[in-house]
């Protein structure tokens, strides 16, 4: 009995009986109590029934009570899962050799093939710096296939565990299997394991075991953060080796090799490394120009017989560092041609400001390169010429490194140049969307989207649509058309507004297959013609295999002056390209063929094409002189300016932006503001004869540009500040040693500093004075790549009222990921994860014996379904039955006789039934005839038994009281009819019951 009780599973405050679980089992206590009450009450109330009937009635009452109490106890039907789901979290990071990963994949596939329950499920999640689901857990997954796995220079096991938990099917017991070397460097797998433990999901671990015996790595390359022109920059290279090793040390400066040993044929110097101790080598390199000096030190191991000796991982054989060499301030001028910039360059030369002109293709790709300039002047530049990374670097250059940005207009600039919604717009002192009140022609752009058959097609498709939308102004029309079977507007042509509606539509895109271009283009044409727009344009993105449209349809586009630009992505071949090329050529659009390795250019193409409808943002007309509206340092001594013939329409920006010149309808023509650490200027007209022909001969031309550009330039400063950086784990200590012009230590300086990080974000940095003239800041530097620290400083001078101020910069580098520092697996961490969650450490040798889908220590999930209503309704049904049992006598003999009779009747042949029917009809006809002729006595009641019926003995259906009949209806002679034995007993019981009732009434 004790064992039986112990075997009844119980949950907290719940009782499980077989497949039923009672959540409020206390109600079940009512059962014995009510049963006893029912039995006691039934002793009297059921006394009038026969033995069998009484017991049946009592049993029915017991059941009704049990059901009602059971219903009150919140019963739930338990449906317990039978299958196990295993989601494998595959460490695909670069610290795990590819061969080991393939071995694990084969192991998992063999395990699945050998698993006996074919309904068990397998899911795959890959982990690098991020985690991605490769296969959702289903019974059919049998192979490990990888698609997009993201960046692999990090290991984020925690993300893998969380993703594995999120895809765990609720109708199966779940296990996670981490196959990894355990060398995580992003997130905390232990924290994620705690969550798995809480969810009842054990994590098994399968360890990639490895230990690298011979390895050389460059731990650090130490250079001063700043230096002066002409001085030697000392480079200190710190290397370590697990075994004695030999090789060569090479240095490059801004990508060009530095000849460290002019006497030998090799550029590098030979080095011998001792095992287990830091090997430090110092190399002096002279500072060449006033710019950022990027050094890269590389160790080249000795190679014997084609194999590296003493070194296994090549990725950790190099380190980088940057030294900013100070000198005269420099300005970077960007223009499409020298002609566009010659007037501005001449003005700067006259003002003794060093400058360098480049074309957009030469524009620096990183913040570090940009940071060596004090200001950047962009003349009539369109946004599509700059990658998203370059645009973000420009914004950071101003906001976080204190650089200056001067954007000068032209037909390809500002809103007309597609800069709306770009990171650079954030830095500008004007809004690139035209003002709401401004009446101007709108643009209308229709995007025709066909499925792009590449793994990241959906992601890219959405990105390019967003890029196009961002490039439009809020007054323009945008429409997105897809063809999931039939062409439909995913976003009907409507005004962009704040872009939220169209961006929601973009998220709902299906990227359906398109059989035929024609219906989509017909709908596009109809849509574009239906809106009131000055410029209309259509863009198709496709792999090119839908059926080509007819020439007649394309001619309709030509007639409507609507160009169709086509973008072929992953075109299947020449035929696909020809279709798209033909559409573009016939409608005066452009065709772009984007190969797999050029996908990053897609947003730029869309922005460029979207720009087609942005010509409406340009104002051109009779020359007029803009009104000078603001008093600013940039306009010092300038009372008026010559006329201009054109500018790009922009709008005022709220906040501290200062508009210094205004044009038609109060449009800003020149504006400026402080943005973060830096300053930006926007001049919406141009610097050529196109829009400002009279300015070149204007006497104030040089002063105008010199004052504007000098205002924007990063201040050079009048203090001597030397910056040293020192890495300490994931942190870097930045120390600034400051002296004034008299070489006295500079105290009480305030620093406003920002650190631009490799991932494009930036954060504030706090400097504290830790000694005389010495300031220190700690920054977290756990990402690999370049960090640029920029600080504006301000300190009191030696004389009253004097202020010492300026700007300093420093770079922190972390060229390779921690992924390449690990020389050994992290088995203890993996074991800890398994132990924490109740998982197992899998050997990985025998997939069948390891039994990845083991039920051991798994609690199978249970789906609960409330059944109280069913119990309650059943109780009600039985209650009705209870009444029936007491009121209706069931005579088994009579039932049996009725069944026999029914059987006999069914055996009658059809002919007999017809004969019987005929006979019955004849008999009825005879009776009617008799009645009509008065041959029979007329009945006084509706029914009167025939003589035959009267002569038959009556059949007793039950021992229940006889039916009540009136005296007049009582058959003659019934009073005197002798009672049989059963009747006598029934009558006797009735009399007894009547007497008992009378006694009870008397007692009451």
Q: What is the binding site for other proteins (CB under 8 A)?
A: 19, 77, 79, 135-136, 138, 140-143, 145, 453, 484-486, 512-513, 515-516, 518, 543, 545, 547-548, 572-576, 578-579, 863, 865, 867, 869-871, 873-874, 877
Instruction: Report the first-to-last Cα separation within the chain, whole angstroms.
Output: 47
Give 547 or 923: the residue with its C-beta nearer to other proteins. 547
Give 286 or 485: the residue with its C-beta nearer to other proteins. 485
681 close to 406: Cβ distance less than 8 angstroms: yes
State the nearest-atom distance from the C-beta of 876 to other proteins, in Å: 8
State the nearest-atom distance from the C-beta of 142 to other proteins, in Å: 5
State the nearest-atom distance from the C-beta of 33 to other proteins, in Å: 25
Give 570 or 835: the residue with its C-beta nearer to other proteins. 570
Give residue for tokens 């990402």.
783
Beta bridge partners of 735: 724, 776
CA–CA dist 452, 512 (Å, integer):
9
CA–CA dist 18, 8 (Å, integer):
8
What are residue 35's phi and psi, to 5 degrees? -60, -45
Ranges of H-type helices in 472-511: 500-507
State the nearest-atom distance from the C-beta of 134 to other proteins, in Å: 8
Of 839, 747, 819, 779, which is closest to residue 97 (Cα–Cα)?
819
Give 551 or 988: the residue with its C-beta nearer to other proteins. 551
880 close to 43: Cβ distance less than 8 angstroms: no
Give 597 or 728: the residue with its C-beta nearer to other proteins. 597
In this structure, the strands spanning 20-22 and 14-17 are antiparallel
Give 138 or 925: the residue with its C-beta nearer to other proteins. 138
State the nearest-atom distance from the C-beta of 133 to other proteins, in Å: 11
State the nearest-atom distance from the C-beta of 912 to other proteins, in Å: 36
State the nearest-atom distance from the C-beta of 853 to other proteins, in Å: 16
CA–CA dist 559, 556 (Å, integer):
5
State the nearest-atom distance from the C-beta of 489 to other proteins, in Å: 16
Angle subtended at Cα 51 by Cα 47 and Cα 54, rounded to the nearest 5 degrees: 60
Give 289 or 508: the residue with its C-beta nearer to other proteins. 508
CA neighbours within 13 Å on the CB side: how many for 216? 27
State the nearest-atom distance from the C-beta of 145 to other proteins, in Å: 4
CA–CA dist 343, 349 (Å, integer):
10
Ranges of H-type helices in 400-456: 423-427
Helix, strand or coil, per DSSP, at residue 131? strand
Angle subtended at Cα 22 by Cα 21 and Cα 26, rounded to the nearest 5 degrees: 155
What are residue 407's phi and psi, to 5 degrees? -100, 120
State the nearest-atom distance from the C-beta of 117 to other proteins, in Å: 15
Ranges of H-type helices in 840-891: 847-850, 868-887
804 torsion bin: left (phi>0), alpha (psi -120 to 50), beta (else): beta
**Distances, alpha carbon 484 to alpha carbons 36, 489, 528, 743, in Å:** 70, 10, 21, 74
CA–CA dist 477, 468 (Å, integer):
11
**Distances, alpha carbon 608 to alpha carbons 561, 613, 756, in Å:** 18, 10, 29
Give 286 or 866: the residue with its C-beta nearer to other proteins. 866
Angle subtended at Cα 326 by Cα 325 and Cα 330, rounded to the nearest 5 degrees: 110
State the nearest-atom distance from the C-beta of 684 to other proteins, in Å: 48
Give 106 or 547: the residue with its C-beta nearer to other proteins. 547
Give 113 or 303: the residue with its C-beta nearer to other proteins. 113
CA–CA dist 84, 323 (Å, integer):
58
State the nearest-atom distance from the C-beta of 521 to other proteins, in Å: 13
State the nearest-atom distance from the C-beta of 864 to other proteins, in Å: 10
Give 80 or 272: the residue with its C-beta nearer to other proteins. 80
State the nearest-atom distance from the C-beta of 61 to other proteins, in Å: 19
CA–CA dist 629, 619 (Å, integer):
20
State the nearest-atom distance from the C-beta of 451 to other proteins, in Å: 9
State the nearest-atom distance from the C-beta of 515 to other proteins, in Å: 5
Give 202 or 487: the residue with its C-beta nearer to other proteins. 487
Question: Which residues are CB-neighbours of 723 under 8 A, at least 6 positions away?
Answer: 224, 225, 226, 734, 735, 736, 737, 789, 808, 809, 810
Give 572 or 763: the residue with its C-beta nearer to other proteins. 572
- 995 token code pair: 């007497």
Of 603, 305, 636, which is closest to residue 471 (Cα–Cα)?
603
Q: Which long-range contacts (CB under 8 A, 24 or more apart) does 555-558 make?
A: 555/586, 556/525, 557/521, 557/525, 557/587, 558/586, 558/587, 558/588
Give 516 or 633: the residue with its C-beta nearer to other proteins. 516
State the nearest-atom distance from the C-beta of 576 to other proteins, in Å: 8
Q: Which residues of 524-552 are buried (b: 16+ CB within 10 A; e: fewer)?
A: bbebbeebebebbbbbbbbbbbbebbeee
CA–CA dist 761, 783 (Å, integer):
11
Give 511 or 711: the residue with its C-beta nearer to other proteins. 511
594 close to 569: Cβ distance less than 8 angstroms: yes
Give 388 or 874: the residue with its C-beta nearer to other proteins. 874
Give 190 or 862: the residue with its C-beta nearer to other proteins. 862
State the nearest-atom distance from the C-beta of 253 to other proteins, in Å: 42
Angle subtended at Cα 912 by Cα 910 and Cα 918, rounded to the nearest 5 degrees: 105
Give 135 or 396: the residue with its C-beta nearer to other proteins. 135
């Amino acid at each position: 009995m004790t064992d039986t009780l112990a075997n009844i599973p119980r949950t907290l405050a719940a009782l499980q009986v077989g497949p039923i679980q009672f959540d409020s089992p206390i109600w079940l206590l009512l059962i014995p109590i009510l049963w006893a009450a029912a039995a006691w009450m039934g002793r009297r109330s059921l006394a009038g029934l026969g033995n069998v009937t009484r017991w049946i009635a009592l049993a029915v009452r017991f059941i009704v009570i049990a059901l009602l109490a059971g219903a009150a106890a919140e019963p739930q039907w338990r449906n317990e899962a039978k299958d196990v789901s295993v989601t494998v979290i595959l460490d695909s990071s670069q610290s795990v050799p590819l061969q080991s990963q393939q071995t694990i994949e084969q192991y998992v596939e063999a395990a699945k093939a050998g698993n006996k329950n074919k309904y068990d499920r397998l899911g795959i999640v890959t982990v690098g710096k991020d985690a991605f689901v490769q296969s959702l857990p289903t019974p059919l997954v049998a192979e490990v296939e990888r698609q997009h796995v993201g960046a692999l220079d990090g290991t984020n096991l925690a993300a893998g565990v969380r993703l594995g938990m999120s895809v765990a099917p609720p109708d199966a017991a779940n296990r996670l299997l981490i196959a990894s070397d355990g060398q995580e460097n992003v997130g905390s797998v232990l924290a994620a394991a705690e969550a798995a433990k809480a969810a009842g999901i054990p994590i098994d671990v399968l360890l990639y075991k490895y230990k690298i015996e011979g390895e050389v790595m460059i731990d650090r390359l130490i250079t001063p953060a700043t230096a002066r022109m002409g001085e030697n920059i000392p480079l200190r290279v710190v290397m370590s080796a697990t075994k004695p090793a030999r090789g060569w040390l090479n240095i490059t400066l801004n990508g060009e090799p530095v000849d460290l040993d002019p006497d030998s044929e090799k550029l590098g110097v030979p080095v011998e490394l001792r095992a287990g101790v830091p090997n430090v080598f110092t190399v002096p390199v002279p500072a060449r120009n006033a710019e950022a000096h990027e050094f890269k030190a590389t160790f080249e191991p000795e190679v014997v017989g084609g194999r590296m000796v003493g070194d296994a991982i090549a990725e950790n054989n190099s380190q980088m560092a940057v030294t900013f060499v100070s000198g005269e301030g420099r300005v970077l001028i960007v223009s499409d041609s020298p002609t566009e910039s010659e007037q501005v360059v001449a003005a700067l030369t006259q003002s003794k400001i060093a400058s360098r002109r480049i074309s957009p293709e030469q524009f620096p790709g990183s913040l570090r390169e940009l940071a060596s300039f004090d200001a950047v002047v962009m003349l009539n530049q369109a946004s599509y010429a700059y990658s998203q990374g370059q645009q973000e670097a420009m914004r950071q250059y101003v906001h976080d490194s204190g650089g200056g940005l001067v954007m000068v207009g032209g037909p390809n600039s500002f809103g007309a140049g597609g800069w709306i919604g770009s990171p650079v717009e954030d830095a500008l002192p004007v809004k690139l969307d035209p003002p709401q009140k401004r009446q101007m022609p709108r643009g209308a752009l229709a995007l025709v989207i066909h499925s792009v058959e590449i793994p990241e097609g959906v992601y890219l498709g959405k990105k390019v649509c967003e890029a196009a939308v961002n490039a439009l102004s809020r007054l323009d029309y945008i429409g997105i058309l897809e063809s999931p079977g039939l062409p439909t507007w995913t976003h009907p042509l409507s005004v962009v507004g704040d872009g939220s509606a169209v961006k929601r539509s973009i998220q709902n895109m299906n990227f359906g297959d398109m059989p035929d271009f024609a219906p989509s283009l017909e709908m596009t044409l109809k849509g574009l013609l239906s809106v009131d727009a000055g410029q209309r344009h259509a863009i198709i993105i496709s792999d090119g295999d839908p059926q080509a449209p007819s020439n007649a349809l394309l001619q309709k586009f030509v007639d409507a002056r609507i160009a169709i630009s086509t973008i072929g992505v992953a075109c299947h071949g020449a035929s696909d390209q020809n279709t798209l090329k033909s559409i573009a050529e016939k409608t005066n659009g452009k065709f772009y063929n984007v190969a797999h390795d050029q996908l990053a250019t897609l947003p730029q193409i869309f922005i460029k094409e979207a720009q087609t409808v942005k010509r409406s943002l340009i104002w051109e007309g009779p020359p007029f002189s803009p009104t000078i509206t603001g008093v600013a340092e940039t306009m010092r001594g300038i009372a008026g300016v010559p006329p201009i013939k054109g500018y790009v329409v922009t709008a005022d920006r709220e906040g501290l932006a200062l508009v210094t010149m205004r044009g038609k309808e109060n449009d800003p023509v020149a504006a400026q503001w402080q943005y973060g650490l830096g300053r930006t200027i926007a001049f919406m007209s141009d610097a050529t004869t196109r829009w400002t022909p009279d300015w070149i001969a204007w006497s104030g031309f040089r002063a105008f540009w010199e004052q504007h550009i000098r205002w924007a330039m990063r201040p050079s400063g009048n203090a001597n500040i030397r910056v040293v950086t020192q890495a300490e784990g994931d942190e870097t200590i930045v120390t600034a040693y400051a002296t004034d012009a008299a070489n006295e230590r500079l105290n009480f300086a305030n620093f406003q500093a920002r650190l631009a990080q490799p991932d494009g974000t930036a954060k504030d940095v706090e400097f504290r004075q830790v000694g005389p003239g010495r300031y220190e800041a700690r920054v977290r530097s756990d990402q690999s790549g370049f960090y640029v620290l920029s600080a504006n400083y301000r300190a009191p001078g030696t004389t009253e009222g004097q202020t010492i101020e300026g700007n300093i910069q420093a770079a922190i580098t972390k060229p390779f990921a921690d992924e390449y520092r690990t020389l050994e697996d992290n088995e203890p961490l993996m074991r800890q994860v398994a132990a924490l969650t109740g998982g197992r450490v899998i050997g990985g040798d025998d997939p069948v014996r390891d039994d990845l889908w083991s039920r051991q220590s798994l609690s199978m999930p249970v789906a609960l379904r409330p059944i109280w209503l069913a119990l309650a309704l059943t109780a009600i049904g039985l209650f009705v039955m209870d009444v029936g049992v007491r009121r209706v006598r069931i005579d088994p003999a009579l039932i049996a006789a009725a069944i026999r009779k029914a059987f006999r009747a069914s055996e009658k042949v059809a002919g007999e039934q017809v004969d019987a029917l005929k006979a019955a009809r004849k008999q009825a006809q005879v009776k009617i005839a008799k009645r009509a002729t008065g041959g029979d006595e007329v009945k006084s009641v509706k029914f009167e038994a025939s003589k035959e019926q009267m002569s038959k003995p009556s059949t007793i259906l039950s021992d229940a009281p006889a039916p009540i009949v009136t005296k007049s209806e009582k058959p003659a002679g019934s009073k005197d009819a002798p009672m049989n034995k059963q009747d006598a007993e029934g009558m006797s019981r009735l009399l007894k019951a009547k007497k008992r009732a009378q006694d009870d009434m008397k007692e009451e």
